[in-house]
Structure 1
Amino acid sequence: MTLSSFRNIAERMMQPLVAGAVRVGVTPNAISFVALVMAAGAGVSFGLASEQQLLYLLGAALVITNGILDLLDGGLARELGVESDAGDMFDHVFDRYADIFVIAGLATSIAEYALGFAAITGVLMTSYLGTQAEAVGLDRVYGGLLGRADRLALVTIVAIAAAFIEQKLYGLPIVGWLLVVFAVVGHLTALQRFYYAMRALR
């Protein structure tokens, strides 16, 4: 994958929502905050899914909402001409907390905390290397093996499946294997971004 290559298409599809947000008068930061609340709600829903499996569906819906709002805040900022470094910082900090909430919830749902830690660090390092490239004068890196759009898509698909599938494969449920992917592929993506950034800096 990487769904990040379709980012421009997704942003064009968001134009009706952007226009609606302009009419309502909502601000990009307000949308970012609501997106974070959706992610926190997804994390709680996933965490409680060990008791009620169908809560994975609610978590999946909240993850989708978070992803839509994440696109909307950037599109609205551009439409209003209020893009700024402060707004970019605000958005990225909230995105990282959103990642933490969602992955922590998934790990809690199957009581695999060490695996959850490995997944969270993989995701955070992926995101860090993407923005660190920009900090040293390169273009911000969105590509790699597993970007944020890919993660949101995978979480949504796996959460929907987990609502109905209880079987384990080699001792792990489907959510556990998703965390394995985030841990392994996340760190590989971070290393991939590091490699390309270092090569560009030479």
Structure 2
Amino acid sequence: MTLDQFRHVADRALEPFVSLSTRLGITPDAISVLAFVLAAAAGGAYYQAGDAAIWYFAGAVLVALNGWLDILDGAVAREMGTDSKAGDLLDHVLDRYADIVVVTGLAAGLDRYALGLVAVTGVLMTSYLGTQSQAVGLDRVYGGMLGRADRLALIGIVTTVAAFVDISALGFGLVGWLLVVFAVVGHVTALQRFWGAWRALS
């Protein structure tokens, strides 16, 4: 069960922002690019958090804005009637780069590069299996233990807490354990999606 299944609720909350964007003539592609810029800024903030934990809070705000814009671009495209395969491609490519810079920033800030590598591959494989299912003729998969909406929510919550509270256990602080979760649960989610697609095709 993931937060992605509640996307329709977010779509209703987005209606005023969709109307504003269309009145201003802001294109979905521009929103996608802005979302990535905010994710890159979040990655930089998380890297700086290795020296000053308050940067975690700045990163959390930027991640929240990235997530908001990530669902706004699709809603605006549907409202304007400009949703297309090209726009979908751009959105997904930028989302993957956003995932990379955010998770890498978290790992680099802690100097945990090996853990970051496992975490980011788990994140990327989760997303890859979701779209690869569509590529072989099935519906796009959003299910599993940890989808993108769940990741963004976890990152925002954990890094907000980490900005003000220093908690550690077994050699890992809150952000370190967050990376462990991404490393383990990300790959489990990818395998869940693979197994579901495999069964559907068999």
Question: Fold match, TM over 0.5?
Answer: yes
In the alignment, which residue of structure 1 is the partner of 2:26?
26
Q: Secondary structure at the match of 1:146?
A: coil
1:157-176 pair list within 5 angstroms: 157-176=157-176
What letter matches 2:15 in structure 1? Answer: Q
Deviation digits for residues 1-58 of structure 1 (CA, Å, limit 9, x no counterpart): 5111101111111111000000000000000000000000000000001111101010
Q: List 4+ stretches of structure 1 deviating above 3 A.
A: none
Which segments of 5 or more consecutive residues in structure 1 lack a partner in the other structure?
A: none
Q: Where do 5+ consecutive residues of structure 2 fail to align?
A: none
Letter in 2 for 1:153: A
The letter of the residue matching 2:83 is: E
Query: What TM-score does the superposition give when structure 2 sets the normalisation length?
Result: 0.99
Aligned length: 202
Structure 2 residue matching 1:125: 3-state secondary structure = helix
Aligned-residue RMSD, C-alpha: 0.7
Secondary structure in structure 1 of the residue aligned to 2:172: coil
Task: State the one-letter code of the partner of 2:30.
Answer: A
Distance in 2, Cα, partners of 1:73 & 1:4: 15
For residues 51-87 of structure 1, the C-alpha deviation after alignment (integer angstroms, 9 at most, x for no partner) is 1110101000000000000011000000011111111
Distance of 2:126 and 2:189 partners within structure 1: 6
Match of 2:36 in 1: 36
**3-state SS of paired residue (1:123):** helix
Please tell me the residue identity of whatever aligns with 2:128: Y
Q: TM-score, structure 1 length as denominator?
A: 0.99
Q: After superposition, what is the alpha-carbon deviation per residue over 1:131-182, rounded to whole angstroms, capped at 9, x for unaligned?
A: 0000000000011100000000000001001112223210011101000000
**What residue is the counterpart of 1:67 in the other structure?**
67
Aligned-partner Cα distance in 2 for 1:165–1:105: 19
